[in-house]
Chains A and B, each alone.
Chain A
Amino acid sequence: MSNSLFIDIGSYQKQKDGEDCFGDTIYSKKIPEERRVISILSDGLGSGVKANILSSMTTRMAMKFMEDNTDLLRSSEIMMDALPICQIRKISYATFSIVDSELEGKTRIFEMDNPRYIFIRNNKSLAIKGREFSSPKWKDRSISVSQMTTQPEDRIILMSDGVTQAGLGNKRYPLGWGRQGCIDFVLSELEKDPHISSQNLAQKIVEEALSKEIDKKAGDDISCVSIYFRTPRKLLVLTGPPFDEDKDKEIADMVAEYDGKIAICGGTTSNIIERELCLKCEVDKSSFDTEIPMASTMEGVDLVTEGILTLTDAYRMLKEGIDRKPNVASVRLVNLLLGSDRIDFVVGTKINVAHQDPSLPMELEIRRNIVKKIFRLLQSQYLKEISVRYL
């Protein structure tokens, strides 16, 4: 597997006080075939429903153009033509910022009239010179394009002017919190927690902006997208004995050679690894729970659990939230899954005859099915990169 970057994207929004819907729109999309991630933030003129329509039209169009690699100047003309024109200001008003990142590191940022993005590398905010373009048709609007090669630990932050103008009119911030205020805040947060997830950072920025406002009421839509480039945190999930016993050695080698965290889910599977790698596996009694079999510890392996019941429960909690004690095997599995960016599932397909016994008091899922449900959820809802191998 290549050692490309993983891109962790998070966003947070607060609508203008008194409005029912967001006037800003955020839309992010991964295009796995092209190893590319696109994230767009658009701010519609005004607030509420009208702004919402303007900004969502803009993001949708922009996403489509980006995906199709349409020339940007051309596409922005089309967008400006398509949007309704403000009667007073005579402009079709929705601003946008677009980040288009390739996992190998090339990133381009397109901006029109939003506050400038923030780019952070080595705990400093770097100003990157962008090139300005404008269309002969819409002379008073210009688009700035910047390009950079991203490295692990870089961060990009997009925001609507609700962030930079937060507190406007407030005695302490007559001109608003400002972009610099936001940069200072982000840097101090990163000092406290250098690996903070994008989601948490975006939320913190928006909440901080809100705290600057008079009576903590948002005077405008406040939105933030945070993007965090990092070396992927890898996890191998091994579950089930291989159909063919000759493969036992192969899965043991995978465990021995894997360059990331490892979880083994299944009694027979752990027996195989224990035997093949001559490791000792011991029950961890602190994980006792009446519904989920206890976890075990094995040297070099981050988690060892029972199979089907634990996986089924982990799936349930991925959907409904964690509701058991932190030491319980299934909770530990969920936390490992959520803390990883790229998860490699290796699924043994041997059917356990005992599980098909009608006298069992409950129905047991077939391993393949439950694993499929888990990885689909991790992909769609948690944007994890997944690979699956059946043996």
Chain B
Amino acid sequence: MEKVKVKICCGTSCFVMGAAQIQVLEFAPPADIADKIEIEEARCMNHCKDTTAKYNRGPFVMVNDELIEEANFEKVVNKIREILNQEK
């Protein structure tokens, strides 16, 4: 089974919006998904510079091809579980 790719933006604005808390996934992931994910830290993915959005909707995380806005640890983990369940 292919691993779920998680790309966490660690650019300045995502970082201050809380990306560091999501990085915990890398060092202490929940046991059920630990070996099923592949983490990548990215530099600014430019979503934060989207001027059509009124406010910054960071931190941004990509789970496979899906963009999660205002991401947090729970949201990302849920998304990963959702994808894993679909694949079963």
Contact = CB atoms under 8 A, between A and B. Distances in A.
B48 A306 contact: no
Given A293-B10, A294-B41, A352-B49, A360 B56 contact: yes
Nearest to B11: A267
B62 interface: no
Interface residues of B, number: 23
Contacts, number: 70
Max count, chain B CB within 10 A of own CB: residue among A268, A291, A361: A268
Contact of A267 (B40, B44, B58): B44
B44 A360 contact: no
A359 B23 CA distance: 21
A358 B17 CA distance: 12
A3 B44 CA distance: 38
A264 B39 CA distance: 24
Contact of B17 (A271, A283, A360): A360
Contacts of A355: 12-13
B16 to A, nearest CB: 6
Contacts of A358: 55
Interface of A: 267-268, 270-271, 283, 285, 288-291, 293-294, 306-309, 352-355, 357-362, 364
Given A352-B49, A357-B56, A270 B43 contact: yes
A354 B19 CA distance: 15
A353 B10 CA distance: 17
Given A293-B10, A357-B55, A362 B16 contact: yes
A271 B56 contact: no
Nearest to A269: B43
29 contacts: A267-B11, A268-B43, A268-B44, A270-B43, A271-B44, A283-B10, A288-B23, A288-B27, A289-B20, A290-B20, A291-B20, A293-B11, A293-B20, A306-B15, A306-B43, A308-B12, A309-B16, A352-B13, A352-B49, A353-B51, A354-B44, A354-B56, A357-B48, A357-B55, A357-B56, A359-B55, A360-B13, A360-B17, A361-B17
A352 B23 contact: no
Given A288-B26, A293-B10, A361-B17, 10 more contacts: A267-B10, A267-B43, A271-B44, A294-B10, A294-B41, A309-B15, A354-B49, A358-B55, A360-B56, A362-B16
